[in-house]
Chains A and B, each alone.
Chain A
Amino acid sequence: MMNNTVEVRGLVVVRGRHRVLDGLDLDVAPGVTGLLGPSGCGKSTLLRSVVGVQRVAGGAVRVLGQDAGAAALRRRVGYVTQAASVYDDLTVAENLRFFARVLGVTRHDVERAVESVDLGEHRDQVVGRLSGGQRSRASLAVAMLGEPDLLVLDEPTVGLDPVLRRDLWAVFHRIADGGATVLVSSHVMDEAERCDRLLLMRDGAVLTDDTPDGVKRRTGAGDVETAFLRLVEDLA
């Protein structure tokens, strides 16, 4: 079937002297997919490979039917790096207008992006003086410009309070309801419950690719965290 947004086959990435990903296989379909795993397991490396900024040593990464990083994908993929990737000394609106110009999209898109992350009140505030959560939302708004078909978000909810996290996940689902694919990394296991699909990662390999319920059922665990630990123990 070709309705996967992302297809990764035999991906090998070497960073420094460390083989971070070693023959990783993976499919991501439309909807909200969570990429979960402990710190250092290679989540950011995988996401960087999907958006085409990671130098890879082998394997194939296909995104929307093209090679990752292809020029034609640059309007169709939105990306939030693990660092906030917005300009702290510009206002929310200035940040959005800049990236909108780079993308060649209209002011109308800027307004829509501001509204969809609920930053209307703060649009003229300098990003460096926003709270952590508002800053993450500003960064997310930039990634939503031009309505990309794939959104790649590297730990967008880290350090946020539960209410904000819930709101952000609601935004992800709203985007996915429009037919887009949202790939979100996190190392907070309780966020797993909010995903349509779960990818559990450890030491550069995908342990499991299932729905949250499927993972729990298969391992007989009551929550995803326990399920993850059981999967790790099974491997040992």
Chain B
Amino acid sequence: MEETILNCQDSAEGILTAVYRAYEWKLPRDRVSIRTGAVDLCLFASCRDVETRPDLAKKVSDTIKRRFGRQVWEDLSFAMAACDERKGTAVLRTIDLGLSGRIRGRLTQGLGEEWIRIVFELGRRVRNEYHRQQEFLRFRQAQEGYLFALTEPKEDVTAFLMPHFSDRLPMENFVIVDSLRGIAGVHPAGRPWVLLRLNEEEKGRMAGAAGHTSQEEAEAAELFRCFCRTVSIRERENPGLQRQHLPLRFRGTMTEFDPPG
């Protein structure tokens, strides 16, 4: 039988809707792929667009949690945030393997199976990026008093960062901007956070925010730079080791690496 490609939005909801449809439409799972990016001409396969339906996605996520537990749900959520073409298909096949009952123990650790290994690998990549952003993300204070962070994460991790920072800074107004994907997590003080897709004008405004920081911001930044400089032990200096732990790609947005002046 012919291959089917389900073409969906690049988000967890999009992928889970496609998973739902694969079952609903009774497509043979080993011949279905889920694509989240632009699909090139499908010559040897039939292509179907899947429109995102939050209610259907929720049904699938509920099933995953119920059948395989919270841990597996978390693993799959991380995998779905990866910047990787294989993720949709890998999630579908992993769920299918789980429902078949062939995997003993925690589903996402059945690493003997190729598709589960992919889910595992993608999840690991996203988790790493999430941890890195928890470490290296820097807030700056805008003139208006709110905090903003400009980030360029390799994977789509803003939705994971928001609960982390909302718990720590409940009384702050803050925004985390993913400049690469044009996504912003917005947290108004004392209220729940939301995720927004930025339009062109908003993107420009957020990028410009860096130029409008407060005097206090300059002072705090100067103090921190002084701290970082001083805390290093001269006899142990080792730029290679520093780079190994803190790759150059993060430094562009980190206060302590701002060019002087």
A and B associate in one complex? no
